[in-house]
Amino acid sequence: MNYLLAMQNYDVIVLGAGINGCGIAENLAGLGKRVLLVDKGGVGQGTSSKSSRLIHGGLRYLETGKIHLVHESLRDRQRLVQKYPNLVAYKRFFLPIYKSSPRPAWMIRMGLMMYDVLSGSRSAGKSRTEDVKLFKISFPAFSETDLRSVLSFVDAKTHDRELTRRVADDFQELGGTVIVHCDIDSITWDDKGFEIRSKSGAFSAPILVNATGPWLDEVNQKYTLPARYRIRKVSGIHLIFEGLVVPELMFMQTRQKRIFFIIPEPENNQTLIGTTEREEDCGMDDLQAQESDIQYLLDQVNAYLKPDHQFQRKDVRDIYIGVRPLVRKKGDLSDMSREYKLDHHRKGESQLLHVFGGKLTTYLSLAEKVARVLGVRS
Ligand SMILES: Cc1cc2nc3c(=O)[nH]c(=O)nc-3n(C[C@H](O)[C@H](O)[C@H](O)COP(=O)(O)OP(=O)(O)OC[C@H]3O[C@@H](n4cnc5c(N)ncnc54)[C@H](O)[C@@H]3O)c2cc1C
């Protein structure tokens, strides 16, 4: 390896060009810092291109009392709709309630009222009860047997990879540097700062932010970086079907009280159905969608469809899998907190900060918090 290339000095180096790394880099560059953003692959090629593509408060988190998370997400949702009107748009979600639905209509109405209140004036529209007759006409594939009522509410939809790339572009417009396909050989640090050696060059900075999402533990282990938490890797798949299965986005409940989304994407003439939850113990690069998860999603959606509209395995045009980088904590997978933790370490003038967790939706708040923890002001 030829390390004779001159060391390039920065104020901050950010590892990982997912939504969180890009958001952190953009915010720090906006505060006047010289920032380098490096990724072992391309911008947004990790979890930030494998999500449900929703910018949402997370209606279901109300059930577990995560009011703070919902409130922060709804505030960020409004900021993103304003910041990127071509990439983040409000959409109405339909929620049909059947006799067999695990939560009664009154309970969901109460949740939606609370969601409206938390959205405040920021909401682009309130929840409401839809006309069942109209629903039957507009959603002809849906079973009409035992349909009790249809509710709807507003959240937002994006395209995750495009949003991440846009944030990376904005970062570069602020003078930031992005290096992709960067294979890091070593990271060393002392009380003056960090040195990174890679095939793309040698870089130094007094601050290193590790925003490698679900790869975080692997990165810490490989480069022997200290950390107070660990990542719990919980994968989720989405099935892609040709054409528009439904005219509007749908928030669906399974009999086991889990939820899944049906997301039409007219711009691509396709529909996404997701997602699942599975704890993974394999390496990030060995991840694969399981047939049982594919069948689970087909069963869940078919339970709501008329016999002549049922999906078969051969109808699935494509499948993608992503891993939620959740903070390691005991408990049920679906109850696991989506809140993020910032793990800050100091050695003399050096600062190391790991980003554990974080949703697409909350990257703005997360990036601002990172700047505060690092003591960076404009
Ligand atoms: C199925 C599913 C559905 C979801 N749906 C939503 C949703 O609808 N709305 C929402 O708000 N959130 C959603 N999320 C959560 C959200 O997608 C993630 O929390 C978010 O994308 C994580 O971003 P990140 O930047 O932390 O990680 P990532 O996007 O995974 O980025 C990490 C980056 O680190 C890079 N990297 C890894 N190792 C190295 C290394 N050694 N050196 C340099 N770079 C490295 C990777 O290449 C990658 O680009 C969903 C998640 C999943 C799995």
Is residue 277 assigned to a domain? yes
Residue 122 has pLDDT above 70, yes or no: no
Residues 6+ apart with CB under 8 A from 216: 210, 227, 231, 325, 354, 355, 356
Amino acid at 143: S
pLDDT digits (tens, 9 = 90+) for 143-202: 999 999 999 999 999 999 999 999 999 999 999 999 999 999 999 999 999 999 999 999
Judge if 306 and 242 occupy the same domain. yes
Does ligand 1 have an atom closer than 6 angstroms to the CB of 351?
Answer: no
Model confidence at 337, in pLDDT bands (50, 70, 90)? low
Give CA separation, 23 vs 84, 164, 187, 359, 362, in Å: 13, 8, 23, 12, 10
Compute the mean pLDDT over every residue in the chain, rounded to the nearest whole number.
93
Query: 265: domain range?
Result: 231-327
Does ligand 1 have an atom closer than 6 angstroms to the CB of 58?
Answer: no
Percent of the chain with pLDDT over 70: 95
Angle between helices 363-374 and 19-30 (to 10 degrees): 50
Does ligand 1 have an atom closer than 6 angstroms to the CB of 323?
Answer: yes
- 3-class DSSP state of 311: coil
- 343 CA to centre of ligand 1 in angstroms: 17
Does ligand 1 have an atom closer than 6 angstroms to the CB of 324?
Answer: yes
Judge if 168 and 189 occupy the same domain. yes
Report the pLDDT averaged over residues 114-143: 90
Does ligand 1 have an atom closer than 6 angstroms to the CB of 66?
Answer: no
Judge if 226 and 280 occupy the same domain. no
Does ligand 1 have an atom closer than 6 angstroms to the CB of 366?
Answer: no
In the numeric block, the tokens 């929620």 are attached to 95
- 360 CA to centre of ligand 1 in angstroms: 8
Percent of the chain with pLDDT over 90: 85
Does ligand 1 have an atom closer than 6 angstroms to the CB of 213?
Answer: yes
Q: What is the pLDDT of residue 63?
A: 84
Could you tell me the pTM of the whole model? 0.95
Model confidence at 1, in pLDDT bands (50, 70, 90)? very low
Does ligand 1 have an atom closer than 6 angstroms to the CB of 165?
Answer: no
296-310 burial, b at 16+ Cβ within 10 Å, e below that, comes to: bbbebbeebeeeeee
Judge if 215 and 357 occupy the same domain. yes
Is residue 219 assigned to a domain? yes
Judge if 272 and 222 occupy the same domain. no
Higher pLDDT, 54 or 336: 54
- 23 CA to centre of ligand 1 in angstroms: 12
Judge if 217 and 177 occupy the same domain. yes
Here the CATH number for the domain that contains residue 183 is 3.50.50.60
Q: Which atom of ligand 1 is nearest to the CA of 19?
A: 25
- 357 CA to centre of ligand 1 in angstroms: 9
Judge if 244 and 173 occupy the same domain. no
Hey, whose CA ends up nearest to atom 39 of ligand 1?
40
Q: Which atom of ligand 1 is nearest to the CA of 322?
A: 53
Measured at the alpha carbon of residue 47, what is the angle toward residues 299 and 337, in degrees to the nearest 5?
Answer: 75
Count of domains forming the chain: 2
Calculate the dihedral angle through the C-alpha atoms of 138, 142, 145, 147, rounding to the nearest 10 degrees. Answer: -60
Amino acid at 183: D
